[in-house]
């Protein structure tokens, strides 16, 4: 078989097993070329996948998936696994609506098990799977591939503690490239470095009851083959400590000091040639605005401390960390610890800022509720990637934070509509010292600023409040842009609508409730699951106040939202001006006004 065809003829692990060992380096080279060619166009986790080409080939040659369960921790490094299990022909549709996802997907393949892209879960799955196989008398192995970064998560150690006490055949492949995004932090990172250097005086993993095979060169097929055969023959749980290079084989990734091209953005679409010179000015990313403002506040206030869970740069803490290295705490992928550490910092008299992706805060809800909320501590949570994110799919949309956090007594939640409000609300949050505060904003660029027409208490009216207006639109955060556009369209139809941006979406301001009482219909817009969010809160408040106002919440469904472009998904769930206008007209129509009459009324 000529070398160029090799990759096309490997569509299953069975095809892989019959290849002669001397063909493997060429196969690896072809897979690497494929990854670089495609992922630099589609966007995705290029660095992590380039680091596991040989390792993934070796695992699928030694073990018998799907009979043996192979679990990928976080799953962002599973593109090679997908190529080797028959999905290379769909790689161009990586991380797109209707394409293949950037993580394992049970719907795509029986070789895939864990769809959740939250780190540090693989070993708990491995413990459960191996217990289940043992309890049901099935002789199936479990292979869990876990990164050194994911091993800094607490769940991983809870699982190691359980697996290590058993004699079950769990093979833990520790993919040690020394990094999360940044170099991995903490005593564990130091211990792994000593193991890699051969200077360790003890072995933490062996003392946990595991066999230990290492250190193995993760790019050497012979070494991998020998180590994995030994692991397969081992009785009881065993760790294979493999050393790999994130970004291996692609110099721009290998030389990327920031994060070894952990995630690359999609190549920009060719700019459409238009004569339109009035295109919108490019605004800044939410993350950039936050990072710059926090660094400025850090100059003014020595009590501000920032915390990250291994995502210093992705959450915008680069500038703050450069200016105040001793006031930036990176705890590793350990969100629960980050929150309660922040509680400790607040108890010591400081004001911590926990910068974290919305979806990852879910892991630390108990810590927010009981370690911060119960003690009414001044901790500010800045939730990036709130709402629909897009290419990362269901386990990355930040669509539960409002519903989850509204249950914390004493918490205050803000949703800036643009960069001006982000800076303003960050300062307001940091000035609040009698309990936790939250800011949430989505992935990507902030919209063009929308000026306030009138401020009533903490509420911004974005349109003139006309006494005759029957409709009030209450958007959360950047959906204010949608609300203002809908109001503009409704005005053109003779329907007057007021847009009120609460800025602080929890608790509801009394001034907002007064506005609700003044209107017949209230539409709330939120980039959050509709259950337990802004709309639910406002509906309940209107009901409890005995108001006749009709409240219509519009938001994301209580479902797992798929992969897709943010704008497409928002429109799919009705969070665009067209759907808001239709909802208003339909509402007038349902109140006994015929649709035709409503339209004719609207057209007057």
Q: Which residues are annotated as a binding site for thiamine diphosphate?
A: 76, 117-119, 149-150, 177, 250, 335
**3-state SS string for 554-567:** EEECCCCCCCCCHH
DSSP for residue 141? -
Query: Is 521 a binder of ligand TPP (CB under 6 A)?
Result: no
Binding site partner of 501, from Mg ion, ligand DXP, ligand TPP, none, Cβ cut-off 5-8 A by kind: none
Which residues ranging from 437 to 466 are in contact with ligand DXP (CB under 6 A)?
443
Query: Is 148 a binder of Mg ion (CB under 5 A)?
Result: yes
Tell me the two tokens of residue 568.
């497409």
Question: Using CA atoms, how far apart are residues 559 and 552, in angstroms rounded to an integer?
Answer: 19
From the list 82, 140, 141, 246, the catalytic residue is 246
* CB proximity list for 1: less than 8 A, separation 6 or greater: 9, 23
Query: Is 120 a binder of ligand DXP (CB under 6 A)?
Result: no
Binding site partner of 310, from ligand TPP, Mg ion, ligand DXP, none, Cβ cut-off 5-8 A by kind: ligand TPP
Tell me the two tokens of residue 377.
């501590």
Which residues ranging from 74 to 103 are in contact with ligand TPP (CB under 6 A)?
74, 76-77
Question: Using CA atoms, how far apart are residues 575 and 570, in angstroms rounded to an integer?
Answer: 5
Q: Which residue from 60, 61, 76, 579 is in contact with ligand DXP, where contact means CB under 6 A? A: 76
Q: Is the peptide bond before 168 cis (omega within 30 degrees of 0)?
A: no
The mark string for 133-162 relative to ligand TPP (x by CB under 6 A, - otherwise) is --------------xxxx------------
Span of 83-91, 183-191, 372-380, 384-392 interacting with ligand DXP by CB under 6 A: 384-392
Q: Which residue from 180, 336, 380, 389 is in contact with ligand DXP, where contact means CB under 6 A? A: 389
* CB proximity list for 592: less than 8 A, separation 6 or greater: none
* CB proximity list for 317: less than 8 A, separation 6 or greater: 291, 294, 306, 308, 328, 355
Could you tell me which residues are beta bridge partners of residue 243?
176, 217
Please, what is the minimum distance in Å from the beta carbon of residue 190 to ligand DXP? 24
Could you tell me which residues are beta bridge partners of residue 176?
243
Burial 466-503 (b: 16+ CB within 10 A, else e): eeebbbbbbbbbbbbbbbbbbbebbeebebbbbbbbbb
Nearer to ligand DXP, 392 or 501 (CB): 392
Cα 548 → chain centroid: 39
Are the C-beta atoms of residues 333 and 155 closer than 8 Å to each other?
no
Tell me the two tokens of residue 350.
């400081």
Q: Which residue from 259, 392, 401, 428 is in contact with ligand DXP, where contact means CB under 6 A? A: 392
Q: Please give the annotated binding residues for Mg(2+), written as ranges.
A: 148, 177
Tell me the two tokens of residue 103.
């993580």
**Residue sitting closest to ligand DXP (CB):** 76
Query: Is 382 a binder of ligand TPP (CB under 6 A)?
Result: no
The residue count for binding ligand TPP (CB under 6 A) is 26
From the list 363, 406, 440, 572, the catalytic residue is 363
- Residue 82 annotated as catalytic: no
Distances (CA, A) of 76 to 7, 95, 136, 235, 564: 21, 11, 31, 30, 17
Angle (CA) 108-114-116 rounded to 5° is 105
Distances (CA, A) of 371 to 374, 411, 436: 6, 13, 11
Quick one: which of 76, 163, 179, 97 has its CA closest to 126? 163
Query: Is 385 a binder of ligand DXP (CB under 6 A)?
Result: yes
Query: Is 246 a binder of ligand DXP (CB under 6 A)?
Result: no
From the list 335, 428, 572, 588, the catalytic residue is 335
- Residue 61 annotated as catalytic: no
Please, what is the minimum distance in Å from the beta carbon of residue 314 to ligand TPP? 8
Span of 3-11, 71-79, 90-98, 270-278 interacting with ligand TPP by CB under 6 A: 71-79
Residue 131 DSSP SS3: helix
Which residues ranging from 176 to 205 are in contact with Mg ion (CB under 5 A)?
177, 179
Extended beta strands in 109-166, E state: 142-147
- Residue 246 annotated as catalytic: yes
Angle (CA) 174-178-182 rounded to 5° is 130
Which residues ranging from 32 to 51 are in contact with ligand TPP (CB under 6 A)?
48, 51
Please, what is the minimum distance in Å from the beta carbon of residue 444 to ligand DXP? 9
Query: Is 587 a binder of ligand TPP (CB under 6 A)?
Result: no
Binding site partner of 384, from Mg ion, ligand TPP, ligand DXP, none, Cβ cut-off 5-8 A by kind: none
Which residues contact ligand TPP by CB under 6 A? Answer: 48, 51, 74, 76-77, 117-119, 147-150, 175, 177, 179-181, 246, 262, 309-311, 333, 335, 360, 363
Catalogue the active-site residues: 246, 335, 363
Which residues contact ligand DXP by CB under 6 A? Answer: 74, 76, 117, 262-263, 314, 385, 389, 392, 443
């Amino acid at each position: 078989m000529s070398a160029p065809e090799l990759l096309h003829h490997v569509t299953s692990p069975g095809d892989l097993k019959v290849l002669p060992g001397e063909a493997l380096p060429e196969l690896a080279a072809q897979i690497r070329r494929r990854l670089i060619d495609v992922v630099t166009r589609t966007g995705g986790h290029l660095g992590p996948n380039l680091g596991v080409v040989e390792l993934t080939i070796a695992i699928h040659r030694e073990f018998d998936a799907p009979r043996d369960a192979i679990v990928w921790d976080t799953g962002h490094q599973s593109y090679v696994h997908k190529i080797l299990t028959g999905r290379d022909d769909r790689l161009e549709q990586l991380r797109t609506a209707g394409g293949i996802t950037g993580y394992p997907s049970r719907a795509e393949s029986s070789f895939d098990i864990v769809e959740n892209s939250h780190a540090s879960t693989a070993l708990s799955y491995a413990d459960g799977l191996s217990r289940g196989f043992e309890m049901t008398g099935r002789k199936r192995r479990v292979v869990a591939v876990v990164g050194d970064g994911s091993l800094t998560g607490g769940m991983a150690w809870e699982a190691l503690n359980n697996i290590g006490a058993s004699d079950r055949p769990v093979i833990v492949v520790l993919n040690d490239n020394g990094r999360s995004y940044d170099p991995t932090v903490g005593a564990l990172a130091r211990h792994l470095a000593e193991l890699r250097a051969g200077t360790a005086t003890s072995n933490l993993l062996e003392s946990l009851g595991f066999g230990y095979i290492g250190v193995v060169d993760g790019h050497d097929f012979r070494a991998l083959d020998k180590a994995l055969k030994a692991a397969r023959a081992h009785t009881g749980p065993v760790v294979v400590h493999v050393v790999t290079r994130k970004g291996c084989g692609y110099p721009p990734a290998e030389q990327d000091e920031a994060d070894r091209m952990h995630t690359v953005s999609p190549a920009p679409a060719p700019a459409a040639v238009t004569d339109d010179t009035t295109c919108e000015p490019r605004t800044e990313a939410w993350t950039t605005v936050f990072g710059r403002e926090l660094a400025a506040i850090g100059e003014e206030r020595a009590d501000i401390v920032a915390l990250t869970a291994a995502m210093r740069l992705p959450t915008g803490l680069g500038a703050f960390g450069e200016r105040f290295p001793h006031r930036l705490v990176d705890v590793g992928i350990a969100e629960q610890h980050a929150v309660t550490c922040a509680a400790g910092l607040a108890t010591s008299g400081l004001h911590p800022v926990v910068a974290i992706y919305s979806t990852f805060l879910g892991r630390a809800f108990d810590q927010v509720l009981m370690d911060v909320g119960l003690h009414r501590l001044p901790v500010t949570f800045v939730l990036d990637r709130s709402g629909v994110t897009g290419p990362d799919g269901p386990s990355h949309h930040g669509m539960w934070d409002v519903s989850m956090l509204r249950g914390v007594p004493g918490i205050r939640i803000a949703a800036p509509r643009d960069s001006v409000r982000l800076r303003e609300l960050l300062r307001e949050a940091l000035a609040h010292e009698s309990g936790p505060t939250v800011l949430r904003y989505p992935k990507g660029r902030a919209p063009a600023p929308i000026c306030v027409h009138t401020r009533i208490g903490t509420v911004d009216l974005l349109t003139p409040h006309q006494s005759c207006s029957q409709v009030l639109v209450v958007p959360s955060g950047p959906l204010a842009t949608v609300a203002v556009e809908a109001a503009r369209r409704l005005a053109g139809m003779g329907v007057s609508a007021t847009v009120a941006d609460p800025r602080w979406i929890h608790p509801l301001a009394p001034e907002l409730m007064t506005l609700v009482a003044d209107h017949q219909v209230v539409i709330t817009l939120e980039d959050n699951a509709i259950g337990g969010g802004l709309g639910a809160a406002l509906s309940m408040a209107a009901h409890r106040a005995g108001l006749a106002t009709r409240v219509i919440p519009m938001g994301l469904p209580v479902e797992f939202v798929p992969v897709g472009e943010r704008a497409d998904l928002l429109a799919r769930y009705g969070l665009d001006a067209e759907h808001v206008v239709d909802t208003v007209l339909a509402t007038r129509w349902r109140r006994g006004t015929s649709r035709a009459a409503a339209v004719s009324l609207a057209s007057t």
